[in-house]
């Protein structure tokens, strides 16, 4: 059960990271005409059925996350958004699409559509971002940070008291994980179960703190250039 929750939580975080790090995934850029808006807000244009909305704090700046479902297919969604927001940037693969649309107030709306099939074939994630996000975000006090590490992005979810941080480190994955274990061990955190896998370059651990009851997920991975990236997610556990 805990492993299933962990996988679900990490998938949702990956989607949010994708919404934040759009510039690294752009496949096409549309600059056909000056931005003239469309019919209403971009996130409401496809008439979604809202599931929930919650505030988020991204790199110290407030924003909002919306999750909705659509009863039309992915290709129809993409065609409609392209037609009505022609200067939107887009990245597309077989079952998902990511849009970035500039808004009149200088902010940006990022919309991630993923096709799953079923009664409601498409899920829509949208996030509001300010015109600029700081490149050196303040690191949340709730999260440990190994030495010789640099914060890349942080996301706080005030309504559920959850915090996420993503960083690079000059340490190896083993050294960085060892440092975090030492830091949080003194605060009452105990390792619950490692997800090291010899077939997977990522490594990390899941930690539990009983007073108050919280969970922390730590994961490290290395890219092809030898750079090590770390991710930490902490949230309370409902009893």
Are both 121 and 199 inside the same structural domain? no
Confidence bin at 5 (pLDDT 50/70/90): very low
Would 139 be classed as within a structural domain? no
| Whole-number average pLDDT of the chain | 77
pLDDT of residue 37: 34
* Total domain count, the chain: 2
∠ CA(22), CA(50), CA(123), 5° rounding?
A: 50
Exposed/middle/buried for residue 65 (C-beta within 10 Å: 0-12, 13-18, 19+):
buried
Would 138 be classed as within a structural domain? no
Are both 90 and 154 inside the same structural domain? no
Confidence bin at 13 (pLDDT 50/70/90): low
Are both 35 and 78 inside the same structural domain? yes
pLDDT of residue 149: 94
Are both 222 and 121 inside the same structural domain? no
pLDDT of residue 12: 52
Indicate whether 154 pLDDT > 60. Answer: yes
pTM assigned to the model: 0.67
Would 46 be classed as within a structural domain? yes
Are both 6 and 73 inside the same structural domain? yes
Would 144 be classed as within a structural domain? no
Per residue in 187-219, pLDDT tens?
Answer: 999 987 655 555 444 578 899 999 889 999 898
pLDDT of residue 204: 85
Boundary (domain end) residue, out of 75, 94, 129: 129
Q: What is the CATH number of the domain that holds 164?
A: 3.30.310.80
Are both 165 and 219 inside the same structural domain? yes
Q: Which domain holds residue 109?
A: 2-54+64-129
Are both 6 and 48 inside the same structural domain? yes
Would 140 be classed as within a structural domain? no
Confidence bin at 17 (pLDDT 50/70/90): low
Q: Which residues contact 131 (CB under 8 A, 6 or more apart)?
A: 106, 107, 108
pLDDT of residue 61: 80
Are both 153 and 219 inside the same structural domain? yes
Higher pLDDT, 33 or 82: 82
Percent of the chain residues past pLDDT 90, beyond the cut: 20
Are both 98 and 182 inside the same structural domain? no
Are both 47 and 120 inside the same structural domain? yes
Indicate whether 21 pLDDT > 80. Answer: no
Q: What is the mean pLDDT of residues 162-175?
A: 91
The residue ranges of DSSP E strands in the chain, in sequence order, are 28-29, 49-58, 61-70, 89-92, 96-102, 108-115, 122-129, 149-157, 162-169, 190-194, 203-210, 213-222, 228-236
């Amino acid at each position: 059960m805990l492993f299933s929750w962990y996988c679900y939580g990490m998938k949702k975080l990956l989607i949010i990271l994708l919404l934040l790090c759009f510039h690294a995934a752009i496949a096409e850029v549309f600059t056909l005409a000056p931005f003239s808006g469309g019919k209403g807000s971009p996130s409401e244009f496809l008439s979604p059925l809202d599931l929930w909305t919650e505030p988020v704090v991204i790199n110290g700046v407030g924003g909002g996350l919306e999750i909705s479902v659509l009863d039309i297919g992915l290709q129809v969604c993409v065609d409609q958004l392209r037609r009505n927001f022609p200067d939107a940037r887009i990245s597309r693969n077989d079952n998902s699409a990511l849009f970035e649309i500039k808004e009149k107030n200088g902010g940006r709306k990022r919309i991630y559509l993923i096709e799953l099939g079923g009664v409601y074939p498409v899920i829509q994630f949208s996030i509001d971002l300010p015109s600029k996000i700081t490149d050196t975000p303040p690191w949340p006090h709730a999260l440990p940070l190994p030495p010789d590490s640099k914060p890349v992005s942080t996301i706080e979810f005030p309504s559920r008291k959850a915090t996420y941080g993503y960083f690079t480190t000059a340490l190896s994955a083993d050294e960085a994980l060892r440092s975090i274990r030492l830091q949080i061990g003194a605060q009452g955190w105990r390792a619950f179960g490692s997800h090291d896998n010899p077939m997977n370059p990522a490594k990390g651990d899941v930690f539990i703190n009983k007073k108050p009851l919280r969970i922390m997920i730590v994961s490290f991975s290395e890219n092809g250039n030898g750079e090590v990236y770390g991710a930490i997610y902490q949230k309370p556990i409902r009893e």
